[in-house]
Amino acid sequence: MIDTQNIHVQKIENSKIGQVDFNNIPFGKVYSDHMFMADYAEGDWKNLNINPYAPIEMSPANPSLHYGVSIFEGLKAYKHENGDVAVFRPDKNLERLNFSARRMCMPELDESVYYDGLDTLLALDKQWVPSVPGTALYIRPFVISDDDYIGVTPSVNFKFMIITCPVGAYYAKPVRVKIETEFVRAVKGGSGACKTGCNYGPTLYPAQLAKSQGYDQLIWTDGREHKYVEESGTMNLMFIINGKLVTPETGDSILNGITRRSVIELAQAWGVEVEERKVEVAEVMAAIKDGSLQEAFGAGTAATIAHIEVIAYEGKDYTLPDIAKREFSNKVLKELDDIKYGNKEDQFGWLRKI
């Protein structure tokens, strides 16, 4: 039973759900009826509210606008055939949100505020969780500064919010990616392992350049030598090389992805050898050329499992093996979907039922 006695709920007068075509949902452009909000002031989280989704007031001097004092997460809720709704691994999102909070001089979020807000909001907007195959309800928790001060110093007031939106596939087809050797996403000692807004804005320009050349995303490399593969813009990177699952180890410049971790745990349960380590660009290119690279894919909440069909490097495109023949990534995609949608037993305890 959810204890909502400390949450003030104001319901929308007329739901917008009748305006939504759930068979054709653009990613991140259609938002559910309600949003959750809580304030941090004087050392405590307070003023827990659920209101109709709407713009919020903000000081023009808010440090989130000027210095990127913001952190966020992304997770999904899924509709089961029996009508149940389940969220995939929200505990890991809370862990990472608080990791990001510490790095950004922000207060950690109380479990009770996070879960009560999440559970109450999803119970209220349960009908927004789509049932069309391949769809889900994307959940975006985030924390921003709520100060009225443009000094470059840690803030003291904050706002935590959760908004949700029904979504279809982030990538409608296998992706073409380009290995980036000029621009840098993150460096050792930086904030690349955090989900903070200031990590993402600077990536837009090089990603736009890549798209103008016909690529969907970049493969970011290390900021010092461009020698090692790190991650892609919306997902962690994973390779099957000689039957082994090989993925860059996480650290200061690589996000500790929850889908990534889930793939690794499934692989280990299946007896697949897993290597989390530094992965050289040269190793990937050699494996493509000698045929030992059997599969390459991205793993992320929005992207789920995104097959990579082309990797570009130094002006040349390299086409990867036929997607239909990719045994591991197709198997892991189906397994994750079966767990998320309730078609298979959740033996790992990954789902939180609403």
Assigned token pair, 253: 């410049």
Whether the predicted pLDDT of 52 surpasses 60: yes
Instruction: Check residues 26 and 36 and name the one with the higher pLDDT.
Output: 36
- Return the SS3 of 123: helix
Instruction: List pLDDT tens digits, range 149-165.
Output: 999 999 999 999 999 99
Give residue 247's pLDDT: 98
Mean pLDDT for 303-330 is 96
Give residue 113's pLDDT: 97
Which residues are within 8 A (CB) of 299 and not within 5 positions of it... i.e. 6 or more apart? 235, 236, 237, 238, 257, 259, 260, 262, 263, 305, 306
Judged by average pLDDT, the poorest of 63-72, 169-178, 319-328 is 169-178
Give residue 5's pLDDT: 62
CB of 245 within 8 A of CB of 267?
A: yes
Determine the Cα–Cα distance for residues 247 and 275; give it in Å rounded to an integer.
6
Give residue 2's pLDDT: 38
Average pLDDT across the chain, whole number: 95
Confidence of residue 169 (pLDDT cuts 50, 70, 90): confident
Where does 21-163 have alpha helices with state H? Answer: 63-67, 90-103, 111-124
Confidence of residue 1 (pLDDT cuts 50, 70, 90): very low
Whether the predicted pLDDT of 302 surpasses 90: no
Amino acid at 214: G
pTM of the model: 0.95
Surface-to-core class of residue 3, CB atoms within 10 Å of its CB (0-12 exposed, 13-18 middle, 19+ buried): exposed
Mean pLDDT for 317-323 is 96
Confidence of residue 6 (pLDDT cuts 50, 70, 90): confident
Q: What superfamily would CATH give domain 175-340?
A: D-amino Acid Aminotransferase, subunit A, domain 2 (3.20.10.10)
Whether the predicted pLDDT of 283 surpasses 50: yes
Confidence of residue 42 (pLDDT cuts 50, 70, 90): very high
7-168 CATH fold: D-amino Acid Aminotransferase; Chain A, domain 1 (3.30.470)
Domain extent listing, the chain: 7-168, 175-340
> Minimal CA–CA distance to 3: which of 122, 119, 177?
119
Mean pLDDT for 83-89 is 97
Whether the predicted pLDDT of 147 surpasses 60: yes
CA atoms within 13 A on the CB side of 175: 28
Mean pLDDT for 304-320 is 96
Surface-to-core class of residue 354, CB atoms within 10 Å of its CB (0-12 exposed, 13-18 middle, 19+ buried): middle
Judged by average pLDDT, the poorest of 32-46, 72-86, 160-174, 209-223 is 160-174
CA-derived radius of gyration, the chain: 21
Instruction: List pLDDT tens digits, range 100-124.
Output: 999 999 999 999 999 999 999 999 9
Give residue 212's pLDDT: 97
Give residue 170's pLDDT: 81
Amino acid at 296: A
Confidence of residue 311 (pLDDT cuts 50, 70, 90): very high
Q: How far lies 265's CA from each of 129, 270, 271, 323, 347, in Å?
A: 27, 9, 10, 22, 12
Instruction: List pLDDT tens digits, range 198-244.
Output: 999 999 999 999 999 999 999 999 999 999 999 998 899 999 999 99
> Minimal CA–CA distance to 265: which of 170, 347, 351, 340?
347
Q: How far lies 171's CA from each of 66, 134, 185, 303, 308, in Å?
A: 31, 11, 21, 6, 11
Whether the predicted pLDDT of 3 surpasses 50: no
Whether the predicted pLDDT of 30 surpasses 80: yes
CB of 196 within 8 A of CB of 190?
A: no
Assigned token pair, 271: 């007896």
